[in-house]
Amino acid sequence: MKQEMIFVTDGKEIDLTKITRLYPAALIHAAGESASVSLEWAELKADQITLEAYVLICDFDPVGEIPIHRIELRYTTKEELFHAMQEIAMRLKN
């Protein structure tokens, strides 16, 4: 396997060839619960929620199955999230 297909962050090594779903989200706290929601929804409801972090969700289970094998990478800013997404996109292009 090519070394560039391994994404290393926060001490985690993620094999990009095994990811079945990859998507950004916002981790929010509302009504005593934490939940992952779309970035767009979080922006629309910014005055009603508490944003905990931005997350990049990496699922490894087949599409259509309930995701059990998942890694969530957390970022404090949307810019950090987008930077990680760009880095992964560049590796997947090669």
Three-class secondary structure of residue 89 per DSSP: helix
Query: What does the pLDDT average to over 77-84?
Result: 96
pLDDT band at 2 (very low <50, low <70, confident <90, very high): low
Give the DSSP letter of residue 84: H
The structural domains of the chain, with segments of one domain joined by +, span: 3-93
In this prediction the pTM is: 0.84
Give the DSSP letter of residue 32: T
Distance (Å, whole) CA 44 – CA 92: 31
Distance (Å, whole) CA 78 – CA 94: 25
Q: What is the pLDDT of residue 14?
A: 92
Distance (Å, whole) CA 53 – CA 13: 21
